[in-house]
Amino acid sequence: MLELLSDKLQNVFRRLGSRGVVSEKDLDEALREVRIALLEADVNFKVVREFINGVREQAVGAEILGSLTGPQQVIAIVQRQLVHILGETHASIRFASPGPTVVMLFGLKGAGKTTTAAKLALHLRKGGSRPLLVAADPHRVAAAEQLQALGRQLNVPVYAGDGGSRGVAKGAREEAQRLATNVLIVDTPGYMQVASEMLSEAKELHDSFAPNEVLLVVDAMTGQEAVNVAQEFHQSLEVSGFIITKMDGDARGGAALSIRAVTGLPIKFIGTGEKVDALEAFHPDRFVSRILGMGDVLSLIEKAQDTVDREQAKSLEKRMRAGTMDLNDFITQIQQVKKMGSLTDILGMIPGMGGMKKQLQGAQIDDSVWKKMEAIVYSMTPEERHRPEMIDGSRRRRIARGSGTTPQDINQLLKQWREAKKMMEALAAGRGPRALGRLR
């Protein structure tokens, strides 16, 4: 996310760090480049000015000029100031007691509101809630059908009644009581632009449902315009927070860095892809760490906890320690990693792996790579999967024919398996750093 901004900021700090000590000229030059990078990312100019002034004041106050740790201190100050602009702490959903909690999603057409409603339902269900999706868009028939299709896919109930705003609200609450659901996620109409007629209709819907949360779904690709839209919605609906979508695209991303500072309202979630599980709770400190190339280990751990089968993990650990890992284990681990998202996104969460992430993006590694590996393994006999060392030239040719690949592809996969086996067994034995060094 925010790849262009991230690259530019990291380049600035890399050059600053190479100088050993920081002079006043070095600081001025670095801040000028940071200012340009933020403006090019479409961050609000007032926010940029506040940010640069804040960094400069802290840098001078900390007396870092001429210090041997000056570059590291500047980076730390930038990190703190970015976190401050983004709101310091994570703002979670405010649940009603007694329920049900009503969460209404508003936004312009094309922001991804309907799919975001389904993603939010999945996210809240993982946290223990029992959501009900509510189709409250009287203008677009396909909106209700799309929400129902997403509900079937996720096994989440959907209410799509009629009878005007109050009728839909009353029917949705009755359905929630009947199904014993405790969160209503209401998908509202998407509009082409902010206008008085649209805001009047949105206000009527709002008053009918009396929501606990009003979340504005904002498209990151609209840049600074997203901030203007947010301000107009907030004046009419008292928005409680934002969900910023399409953070995985080529967006300049200024909305994410501006919207909190301009409106004073928190970003609660960000959309990081098209898949139904590509919605993350927004943590300012983790977000800034990713932008600055410092990784996001906590989000990676949470992602792993949500997707990794714990019984399989325990079984694999035993085989790692015993040195009996085979290709069945290898392919199982690949499938577990696939559930966590794209490999480039995962690498972006690991400190120090930014360079490898760029290499993989350049190589355009996608799901077809995983599918090829799976096809190769599934074309082997059970004995070959268990004892890959028995695979000779004739077996390679047979496996290649069965998987639609080449003997060279088989060789490559076997090499990857041997390296992964060696590394994981070394990690299990507590020899991680030395083993990783030998694999480079």
Domains of the chain by residue range: 3-86, 101-294, 301-439
In angstroms, the Cα distances linking 56 to 37, 38, 64, 289, 349 are: 16, 16, 11, 20, 29
Which of 87-101, 227-241, 423-437 is predicted with the least confidence, judged by mean pLDDT?
423-437
pLDDT at 249: 61
Q: Is 220 within 8 Å of 256 (Cβ atoms)?
A: yes
Q: How confident is the model at residue 196 (pLDDT cuts 50, 70, 90)?
A: confident
Interior angle at CA 113, CA 274 and CA 147, nearest 5: 85
CATH code matching the domain that covers 301-439, chosen among 1.10.260.30, 1.25.10.10, 3.65.10.10, 1.10.240.10: 1.10.260.30
Model confidence at 306, in pLDDT bands (50, 70, 90)? Answer: low
Please determine whether the domains at 3-86 and 101-294 fall in the same fold group of CATH. no
Residue 66, pLDDT score: 53
Q: Please tell me the predicted confidence (pLDDT) of residue 362.
A: 47
Q: How far is CA 378 from CA 195, 315, 401, in A?
A: 57, 21, 12
* pTM of the predicted structure, to 2 decimals: 0.68
The rounded percent of the chain whose pLDDT value lies above 70 is 78
Count of Cβ atoms closer than 10 Å to residue 186 Cβ: 27
Distance, CA of 369 to CA of 229 (rounded, Å): 41
Domain 3-86 top-level CATH class: mainly alpha
Q: What pLDDT shows up at residue 302?
A: 58
Q: What is the pLDDT of residue 345?
A: 62
pLDDT tens digits for range 312-349 = 666 766 776 677 778 888 777 777 766 666 656 665 55
Mean pLDDT of 7-13: 82
Q: Is residue 133 a contact partner of residue 160, using CB atoms and an 8 Å limit?
A: no
pLDDT of residue 105: 95
Please give the Cα distance from 243 to 246 (Å, whole number): 10
User: If you average pLDDT over every residue of the chain, what do you get?
Assistant: 80
Question: How far apart are the two ends of the chain, measured CA to CA in Å?
Answer: 27
Residue type, 427: L
Provide the pLDDT for residue 296: 46
Arithmetic mean of pLDDT, 73-87: 85
Fold of 101-294: Rossmann fold (3.40.50)
Query: How far is CA 78 from each of CA 44, 59, 85, 257, 425, rounded to the nearest angstrom?
Result: 17, 9, 11, 13, 39
